[in-house]
Amino acid sequence: MKRAALGLLIIVLLAGATVYWFTFIRVTNAGLAFENKLLIPEQSLGTVVDGRRQFHLTVDEGSREFLPGKRTPTAGVNGPYLGPTVRLRQGEDVDLIVRNNLDEMTTMHWHGAHVPARMDGTPHQKIQPGETWTASFGVHQQAAPLWYHPHPHGKTGLHAYRGVAGFMWIDDDNSEALDLPKTYGVDDIPLVIQDRLFDDDGAFRFAINQGAVYGDTMLINGTWSPFLQVESRRIRLRLLNGSNARVYYIGFDDNRAFHQIATDGGFLETPLQTNRVTLAPGERAEILVDFSDGAEAVLKSYPEAGLLETVEAFFGGIGTGHLELLKIVPLPAKRASHALPEHLNTISRIDASQAAKTRPMVLGGPIQGAQGGRFAGGGPGPGPPINGKIMDMERIDEVVRLGDIEIWEVDNRGGQAHPFHIHLVQFQILDRNGQAPTGAELGWKDTVLVPAGDIVRIIMPFDRYADTETPYMYHCHIMEHEDNGMMGQFLVVRPKT
C-alpha cells in the first residue's frame, strides 16, 4: 500500500512539473528587445465654460502600427488607439461630451465614478453613430485613478479590444498636498496594460478561448515591446488592467520591493511595501518605485501560484505565465527623490453592524430555468450567471434604498476566478473567506477578484443619487463574461417616508 501511494505521489509530482513547464513555455513573451519608446496618452484638462469643466471625447476608427511593418485597424478616443487621460478635480462640475463616429452604437462608462445613473454610460445611455451624448455631474469623490470605456451590451469586450478606453484621474486637496511624484509622463506615469492577439496581417484577432479573449502579445499604452526612460529617483506608476480577461501578478524581474499607494478608489492609509500587485481586469493600482540605484528593471507579470490556473493555462493557454511588460531605464536625476510619505489618507472602516442588509451575489453555478442547467467555465451559450440569472436589460435585479449601507456577499461557486465590479460605489472588503482583509485589500475598491470557491463580503454606502427608472450595473469585469450576461442591474431609490 505504502509503495503504491509513493508511486502515485511521484506520478502526480512529475505530471505537475510537466504541466508547469509547458505552461511556462506556452504563456510567455520572453525575449522582447524593448526597442519602442512607451507612448504616453495625452493629458486632457478640458476647458472651463460657464463654471463647468468641459471635455470633448470623440470615438472613432483609426489604425496604428503596433508591430513593425503591420497596420492594425483600431478604434480610439481623440486618436487611433486608447484615449486621453482626463483630469478631474473634486468639487468641480464637469461635462464629458462624447461623440460617436463609429458606424455602430456605443456608450461611454466612467468606471469607478460616483455619478447619477443617467450619466453613468451604461448599456442604457446609447450613443448612436454620428450622435453626441453628454455626461454632466459634480465630482464629489476623493482622488482616485478611475478610467473610462464603452459599455454597449454584448459588445463591450469588442469595443474595448479595438482600443476605446482611457484613464480618468481625480485630484483633491489631499492628493495636491501630498509630496508625491506628479509630473505627468515624467515621474507620474499612466500604464494601460492589455494583451492582444494579432493575425498575420496585423489585424487584432478577437478570438474567444475558454469563454474569453486572451492575448499572447502585450501592449502598454498601445506600445509593443516598450521602454521608458525615467530619472534615477522615486517614480509613480499608475497601473490599469485594461485587458478583456487576463489577470496579472505584477512585479519587477529583479524582484525589487516597491510601495503600493493607491487602489481603485483612492489612496491607502500608508504606503504598502510589497513586490507583487495582483491586477484583475478593471482594477487599478498606484505604485512608487525607487530607481535611485540607476539599475534598469523590467516590469513583468509572474505566473500565479494556483494549480487550477496552471492546469487551465496548459489546456487553454490562458493562464498567466511570465509576461514582460515594460523596460524601465533610469537616467541621471535632475532633482532629488521624493521621500516616501508616512501617511497618505484616512480610511474609516465601515462596520458590518452599520449595514441595513446583506445581499447574496452568487457567481457561476447553474442558470435558473435553463434546460438541464448550465455551468460556468466557457463554451458556447450564456453565462456564467449571477444569482442564477443572465443579464436582461428589461429586468431590475436589485433595489437599494438611498442612504443605506449594504453588505454584498459575493460567493463564487463556479470553476474560475471572476473580478466582480459594482457601478456608482467604492466599497471596502469586510472579509474574504471569513478572514479580515490585509494590505491593499484595506483600500477602497470598485472591482474585487473572487477566485473559485471564495466568498468575499464587501460593504458600501449608497448615497447622493437616486433614480426610480435608470439602473446601475454590477458584473464580472471579464468583458466576455459580462457580454455573455454575467451582469445584473440595480436601482437606488429614495425610501418612502
Residues that bind Cu ion (CB under 5 A): 111, 418, 423, 476, 478, 481
Output the DSSP codes for 185-205. Answer: TTTEEEEEEEEE-B-TTS-B-
Residue 170 interacting entry, from Cu ion, ligand C2O, none, C-beta within 5 to 8 Å by type: none
Alpha-carbon gap, residue 490 to 423, rounded angstroms: 9
Among 109, 246, 432, 457, binds ligand C2O (CB under 6 A): 109
Name the minimum Å distance from CB 474 to ligand C2O. Answer: 8
Binding mask 200-229 for ligand C2O (x = CB under 6 A): ------------------------------
Q: What single-letter DSSP state applies at residue 119?
A: G
Helices (H), 116-189: 156-162, 173-177
Which of 65, 85, 35, 43 is CA-nearest to residue 329? 35
By CB under 6 A, tell whether 284 contacts ligand C2O: no
What are the distances in angstroms from CA 419 to CA 65, 133, 155, 446? 31, 29, 18, 10
CB-nearer residue toward ligand C2O: 233 or 481 = 481
CB-nearer residue toward Cu ion: 297 or 478 = 478
CB-nearer residue toward ligand C2O: 230 or 240 = 240
By CB under 6 A, tell whether 152 contacts ligand C2O: no
Alpha-carbon gap, residue 264 to 369, rounded angstroms: 36
Name the minimum Å distance from CB 410 to Cu ion. Answer: 11
Classify the C-alpha dihedral 295-333-185-39 as positive or negative.
Answer: negative
Among 124, 149, 162, 259, binds ligand C2O (CB under 6 A): 149
CB-nearer residue toward ligand C2O: 259 or 481 = 481
Number of residues located near ligand C2O, criterion CB under 6 A? 10
Alpha-carbon gap, residue 73 to 102, rounded angstroms: 13
Name the minimum Å distance from CB 421 to ligand C2O. Answer: 5
By CB under 6 A, tell whether 432 contacts ligand C2O: no
Name the minimum Å distance from CB 400 to Cu ion. Answer: 16
CB-nearer residue toward Cu ion: 418 or 432 = 418
Among 282, 321, 443, 451, binds ligand C2O (CB under 6 A): 282
Residue 478 interacting entry, from ligand C2O, Cu ion, none, C-beta within 5 to 8 Å by type: Cu ion
Name the minimum Å distance from CB 478 to Cu ion. Answer: 4
Residue with cell 449571477: 386
Q: What single-letter DSSP state applies at residue 28?
A: B
Name the minimum Å distance from CB 5 to ligand C2O. Answer: 49
By CB under 6 A, tell whether 151 contacts ligand C2O: yes
Name the minimum Å distance from CB 264 to ligand C2O. Answer: 10
Which of 46, 161, 164, 168 is CA-nearest to residue 102? 164
Residue 338 interacting entry, from Cu ion, ligand C2O, none, C-beta within 5 to 8 Å by type: none
By CB under 6 A, tell whether 445 contacts ligand C2O: no
Q: What part of residues 450-479 is at the interface with ligand C2O (CB under 6 A)? A: 473, 475, 477
Burial 432-448 (b: 16+ CB within 10 A, else e): beeeebeebbbbbbbbb
Check: CB of residue 199 under 8 Å from CB of residue 247.
no
By CB under 6 A, tell whether 423 contacts ligand C2O: yes
Alpha-carbon gap, residue 467 to 461, rounded angstroms: 16
One-letter amino acid of 158: L
Q: Hey, how many other C-beta atoms are within 10 angstroms of the C-beta on 185?
A: 15
Residue 476 interacting entry, from Cu ion, ligand C2O, none, C-beta within 5 to 8 Å by type: Cu ion
By CB under 6 A, tell whether 111 contacts ligand C2O: yes
Q: Which residues contact 4 (CB under 8 A, 6 or more apart)?
A: none
Residue with cell 527623490: 337
Check: CB of residue 121 under 8 Å from CB of residue 108.
yes
Q: What's the distance, CA 143 to chain centroid?
A: 17
When computed from its CA atoms, the radius of gyration of the chain, rounded to whole angstroms, is 22
Alpha-carbon gap, residue 417 to 419, rounded angstroms: 7
Name the minimum Å distance from CB 109 to Cu ion. Answer: 5
Name the minimum Å distance from CB 12 to ligand C2O. Answer: 40
User: How does strand 297-301 pair with strand 323-331?
Assistant: antiparallel
Alpha-carbon gap, residue 57 to 198, rounded angstroms: 27
CB-nearer residue toward ligand C2O: 113 or 288 = 113
CB-nearer residue toward ligand C2O: 59 or 473 = 473
Name the minimum Å distance from CB 124 to ligand C2O. Answer: 12
Name the minimum Å distance from CB 333 to ligand C2O. Answer: 36
Residue 247 interacting entry, from ligand C2O, Cu ion, none, C-beta within 5 to 8 Å by type: none
Residue 284 interacting entry, from Cu ion, ligand C2O, none, C-beta within 5 to 8 Å by type: none
Residue closest to ligand C2O (Cβ): 111
249: three-class secondary structure by DSSP: strand
Name the minimum Å distance from CB 481 to ligand C2O. Answer: 12
Residue 158 interacting entry, from ligand C2O, Cu ion, none, C-beta within 5 to 8 Å by type: none
Burial of 388 (0-12, 13-18, 19+ CB in 10 A): middle
Which of 448, 411, 430 is CA-nearest to residue 279? 448
Residue closest to Cu ion (Cβ): 476
Residues at the contact surface with ligand C2O, assessed by CB under 6 A: 109, 111, 149, 151, 282, 421, 423, 473, 475, 477
